[in-house]
Structure formats: C-alpha cells, structure tokens
Amino acid sequence: MNLYRTLTEPYVAFTGAWHTEEDATAVKAVVALERTRVPRLERAFANVPRCRTYADSPARQGRSFEEDTEHGVDKLSGRVGAAPMRSGCESLARRALLVIVACSAALLLAGCSGSEISASETSASGTSQEEGTESATDKPNIIFVLTDDLDYASAQKMPEIRSQLIEEGLSLERTFMSHPICCPSRATILTGLYDHNHNVLANRPPSGGFEKFVSEGHEENTIGVRLQEGGYQTAFFGKYLNGYPAGDPTHVPPGWDEWYGKLDDQDLYDYRINENGEEVSYGSETEDFFTDVLSGQATDFIQHAAPEEQPFFMYVAPTAPHGPATPAERHEEVFSEEEEAPRPPSFDEEDVSDKPSQIQDAQRISSGEASNIDARYRKRLNSMLAVDEMVSSLLEELEEAGELENSFIFFTSDNGFHQGEHRIRGGKDQPYEESARVPFFVRGPGVAAGAKAENLALNTDLAPTFADLAGVEFPADGRSLAPLLSGEEDPSWRTSVLLEKLPQENSNEEGGKGKGKGKGKGKSKQGPSSSPGFQAVRTETHKYVEYDNGDRELYDLEADPYELESLHESADPSLLEDLKARLEALRDCSEEGCREAEDAP
Ligand SMILES: [Ca+2]
Ligand SMILES: [Ca+2]
C-alpha cells in the first residue's frame, strides 16, 4: 500500500494560512491504521555489535571528564583523529547501518515506537540556567537537525517529524532566516550574528563561502567552540559551509570532539566524508546513500556519548531536500504523481505591476514548467523521507540510552524554497516569505507537546539558545529562545527582524535561479533573475523591503499574507516612515543594539 496516496488532497498553503491541518489529520489517521494492522517490530538491531569510536579509543579511555575540562579546548583539540571511525571496524559499521536502514523502513510501516513521553513526565530542569549551581550531568543534551532548502509546507508532510516533533513539541510558526541562502545562513547559525556582522555574504568567494568564514576568524568562535569549553561533548555531521574544505579534506574546525564533515557538495552517492580527520570515500551502492550514512553516524554517536558523564551537543546537517534531491531507493515512488506542489494565490502571480523589476521581467509559468515544479516537489519530498526516518532513529536511540527526557531536539532549515510563487520557479535568496520563513520545531524538557507560538524567531537566535540551555556565555546579535520553549508569555518579545542580502563582489550565486538568468534585457523567457541586494524589516504585521537598485516593496501581511499587492506607493505615509525608521535602526545594529531595535514598540 502506498501510504501517501491518501495524503494528496490540495492543501491550504503558506504564510498566515500555511497550516496544513487537513494533511496532518490524514497523516495521523494513516499511520495509526498501519500500526493496528502490522505487528510491532522487535528492535531489529538490538544485538548488532556497533563500532565504538572516540569513547573507546585509547586516547579517550585514559582521560576522565574532569581532566577534559581542566585542560580546556587546547588539550581537547587533539581528540579528533584519535579514533577514525572506520579503522578496523568498517564492516561492523556497515552491517549496523544496513540493519538500521531496514528497521527505519520498517518503522515507517509498522511504527515500532516507544519513544513517547508525555508532557507531564518532562520537567523544566533542563531550562534552569544558573551557572555554577549545576553539575555537567544536569545539563541537557542538545540535538540540532538542520535541513537544506526545506520549505515550511513540505516539512508538514513528513510523518515522523509531524508525530514526534510537531505533535510532541513546540512549533515556532514565525521563524525566519535573515539571509535565506545556504552559507550566509549557516554562518549566522554558527555565530549568532547577522550577515552585516559576520560578513559572510554569499555562498562563494570572494564575498562568502567557507574560506570567507575562516578568514573572518569565525571558526574559533562558533557555538561548537563555546559549548565544548562549557563541558559539552560536541559532534558535527553533514554539510558545513559551502566551499568546505577548500583544498584540505582533512581540515577539522576547532570546537568539535567528533567531526563527520561532508565533502563533494550535494552528491548523495560517490562522495567523501572527513571522518575525524580521515578522508573516507563512499560509493554508489544502496547503503552508501548519504542521508542513511549520516543517520548511522549520528545514532552511533548517541550510543557511545550517552553513557559519558558529559552532556552532548550534536549538529546534524543532511543535504536534503536541496537539489539534486536524490531520494533513497526505497522512497523513490512514495510521493507519487498525484502529489502537486502547493498552489497558493501567489503561484504564477498574475499581476506583477506592483513588483520589483526582476519579477516584472519574468514571464508567466507555462504548464510544462508547472509540471517540472511538481516533479521537483515530489523528488524533494521523497528525498526528505530518509531525513524523517533519521529523526525517528535519533529519538529512538535517545530513548534507548535513557537520555530522551534530558535532551532538546531542534529541527529547522537553512532557508525556504520557492516553487512558482511570484513567478519564481525555484530557489531562495529573496525577501519573500517562501524564502525567508522556515519550519522550526523543538522538543525537550519543559516544552509543551503540540504547542505553537507566533513570536518572531530568527537564525541569529539558535546559538544563543543552545548556549543558554548549556549555561555558557555567547555574545551574539540574537537572543535565547529558552523563555518561549517553556511557554513563558513575554509581552516585550521582539516585534521585528532584519532580512538582508548585502552587496557582493562578483560571485555567481545559486539563489533565485531561473534558467533565463542573465540572458540579456527585456522579458525573461522563463523565471526572474536573482534579486538585487536588499535590506528589509519584517514586523509581526508588515514587511518593508529596500533593494539596492532603488526598488521598494511593502506588504500588509495580515491583509495580504501571500504578498500579492505591494503598497509601497500607496501606504499611509506614517506607516512607511515608521517602517523606514525601524529598518534604519536595524541595518547596522550589533548585539544589544539589535535586540533593542528589534524590540521597539
Ligand atoms: Ca540551503
Ligand atoms: Ca501583484
């Protein structure tokens, strides 16, 4: 039976109406039905010997936690490379992975659950931040899952993410990526800084990319470094920064006790991983599928990190559903031809006379292009299913290790994704909601199950939130989301965020791509060219955008959640003045100045 054929009803799409409640009900019903039909699976991999990595290495075993913290980060930087994962135990790791994959696939059908905790069983202990009053063992584990280019609506279609994160945790419904494109967004996540302060402005040199991040001195000051100094075991899995490793495939950034940094861009077969300083190649067999390899490495880490006294921080970054969005073989046909990409009112926007020039220059979307958008949408969903299974595996492993109730699991994406809205055939790097707004779910101690909050959240907040939960200092432009996690009402919460794409030196960006890009003037045969640079203020009710070329946009998001009619020429002058003033206060802000500007009434 194809589980998903019943889930293809047209859905209420995007923005203020971005809730997919009908789908949610359908997903739940189908999963529940399957659970009654199929006998529960035993834990299939209970007896599979696992490859022990750092925890069992001679370097590690000779050292207690106290010694680790005493020696600090310099001493600890020698950890990585001490025990390459696959030396001498490759076949075991492979076997374990295969079993995990088999079990995960079975999970989808049979629901070998058991990882559920009720809200009443959780406690707020993990959110207690009084430094120095807690031992390291009281501190919560933090698991951060960062997908690549996942749009808000698609995230709601994932059955495990829905049942285990959305329904068991908090959805922050208004979460944005300040500069919604891979590398700048990830630089913000690692540093807690806006683009105008971290200065990684693009995916590639000279204005951006991994090399720019390094040259700006950020690697020594990431959230990984601070949490490691604060007594956490830190581990990184997957996609780091575009352009990594720039010539040295054994480069392990400071701050990470274990490092599994993906090489070879977005390839899901025939790629390499830098595994703790050792370059390991993967082939084109079924079991080489990257998301599954990533899942195996991350769950293995939980197994060996959980028994340690130290709490742990995991940064798990799959490349799905970014193009080429290759699904696992077992998922190739799950979302099938009935599944059509969302068609919000902004799809193939009819009247673009209100829009900036690059949108006005774009032609309407042809039926052939619409079919291509649908095909890519299905591929993206199918590619996400292995991530969905990975989330389930991580939760199951946490529960098995007795750590689930003391772990926060964060799930988000580095940017959203256009699928025909405002005639933008695909891509991101735009100020529109489809680009900048992302799915964001948190589950953990003290987080109410099924809660939703409308407070504005931003990628600058992630590092400060992790630091706050861990009880360490981390100066940043953002702020801790911890009060929102525990359901505190905060009437003084920020009322605006800054969205920005700053001017870049010549670099050939991938964002906002349309195939007609850069081909002369006049009407583009296909999609719009990428947007010029912009800075924009997004308040709870409005968005005001200033482009470098002088174009402007202003939307009343309550009356016009799909951003169909820009009011920049017709708005009440006092509203325009207010938004301009707010943008001015934000555009060069730093740290406390950002928080004050964002909080302005
Ligand atoms: Ca991305
Ligand atoms: Ca319009």
- pLDDT, one tens digit per residue, over 239-294 is 999 999 999 999 999 999 999 999 999 999 999 999 999 999 999 999 999 999 99
CATH code where residue 389 lies: 3.40.720.10
Ligand index nearest the alpha carbon of residue 416: 1
Q: Would you place residue 527 in the very low, low, confident or very high pLDDT band (cuts 50, 70, 90)?
A: confident
Domain hosting 283: range is 136-484+493-500
Flag the least confident range among 9-23, 46-60, 259-273, 321-335: 46-60
Residues 375 and 241 in one domain: yes
Residues 430 and 505 in one domain: no
CA of residue 109 to ligand 2 center, whole Å: 44
Residues 236 and 321 in one domain: yes
Q: Residue 337: what pLDDT?
A: 83
Residues 70 and 164 in one domain: no
Cα separation of 497 and 586, whole Å?
8
- 104 is a domain residue: yes
Rg (CA), the chain: 23
Q: Nearest-CA neighbor of 231 among 408, 472, 456, 17?
A: 472
Residue 404 near residue 395, CB atoms below 8 Å = yes
Residues 391 and 454 in one domain: yes
Cα separation of 61 and 597, whole Å?
49
Residues 51 and 159 in one domain: no
Ligand index nearest the alpha carbon of residue 459: 1
Residue 176 near residue 438, CB atoms below 8 Å = yes
Q: Would you place residue 525 in the very low, low, confident or very high pLDDT band (cuts 50, 70, 90)?
A: low
Q: Per the structure block, which two tokens stand in for 535? A: 């800075």
> Is 182 annotated in the active site?
yes
Q: Residue 380: what pLDDT?
A: 98
Mean pLDDT within 425-442: 97
- 128 is a domain residue: no
- 129 is a domain residue: no
Ligand index nearest the alpha carbon of residue 432: 2
Q: Residue 158: what pLDDT?
A: 97
* Number of domains making up the chain: 3
Residue-wise pLDDT for 379-397, tens only, equals 999 999 999 999 999 999 9
Domain termination residue (choose one: 470, 500, 530): 500
Q: Which of the two residues, 558 and 7, has the higher pLDDT score?
A: 558
The conformation of residue 487, written as its DSSP 8-state character, comes to T
Residue 274 near residue 260, CB atoms below 8 Å = yes
Q: Residue 556: what pLDDT?
A: 97
CA of residue 344 to ligand 2 center, whole Å: 13
Residue 316 CB-half CA count within 13 A: 29
Residues 506 and 479 in one domain: no
- Listed residues: CB within 5 A of ion ligand 1: 148-149, 182, 414-415
φ, ψ (nearest 5 deg) of residue 364: -60, 160
Domain termination residue (choose one: 438, 470, 500): 500
Q: Nearest 5°: CA angle at 301, between 148 and 264?
A: 40
CATH code where residue 515 lies: 3.30.1120
Q: Nearest 5°: CA angle at 397, between 125 and 465?
A: 40
Residues 334 and 435 in one domain: yes
Ligand index nearest the alpha carbon of residue 350: 2
Q: Note every long-range contact of 471-474, with CB atoms under 8 Å and residues 24 or more positions apart, other chains counting.
A: 471/129, 471/130, 471/131, 471/134, 471/139, 471/230, 472/131, 472/226, 472/227, 472/229, 472/230, 473/226, 474/192, 474/223, 474/226
CA of residue 498 to ligand 2 center, whole Å: 23
CA of residue 289 to ligand 1 center, whole Å: 19
Q: Is the pLDDT of residue 21 over 60?
A: no
Residues 324 and 441 in one domain: yes
Highest mean pLDDT: which range of 54-58, 316-320, 501-505: 316-320
Residue-wise pLDDT for 28-62, tens only, equals 444 444 434 333 222 333 333 333 333 333 333 33
Q: Is the pLDDT of residue 124 over 70?
A: no
Residues 291 and 377 in one domain: yes
How far lies 121's CA from each of 124, 405, 451, in Å? 10, 8, 16
Residue 139 near residue 313, CB atoms below 8 Å = no
Domain termination residue (choose one: 465, 500, 535): 500
Ligand index nearest the alpha carbon of residue 319: 1
Residues 238 and 359 in one domain: yes
- 130 is a domain residue: no
Q: Would you place residue 136 in the very low, low, confident or very high pLDDT band (cuts 50, 70, 90)?
A: low
- 126 is a domain residue: no
Q: Residue 80: what pLDDT?
A: 33
Q: Residue 523: what pLDDT?
A: 52
- 229 is a domain residue: yes
- Percent with pLDDT over 70 in the chain: 74
Residues 160 and 252 in one domain: yes
Cα separation of 473 and 463, whole Å?
10
CA of residue 187 to ligand 2 center, whole Å: 33
Q: Which of the two residues, 510 and 175, has the higher pLDDT score?
A: 175
- Percent with pLDDT over 90 in the chain: 71
CA of residue 182 to ligand 1 center, whole Å: 4
φ, ψ (nearest 5 deg) of residue 397: -65, -40
Cα separation of 132 and 528, whole Å?
54
CA of residue 148 to ligand 1 center, whole Å: 4
Q: Is the pLDDT of residue 573 over 50?
A: yes
- Position 120, amino acid: S
Residue-wise pLDDT for 456-488, tens only, equals 999 999 999 999 999 999 999 999 999 999 998
Q: Is the pLDDT of residue 328 over 50?
A: yes
Q: Residue 215: what pLDDT?
A: 98
Q: Would you place residue 526 in the very low, low, confident or very high pLDDT band (cuts 50, 70, 90)?
A: confident
**pLDDT mean across residues, the chain:** 81
Task: Check 51, 182, 589, 594 and give the catalytic one.
Answer: 182
CA of residue 494 to ligand 1 center, whole Å: 25
Q: Residue 508: what pLDDT?
A: 52
Q: Per the structure block, which two tokens stand in for 256? A: 């990470």
Residue-wise pLDDT for 84-104, tens only, equals 333 333 333 433 444 444 434
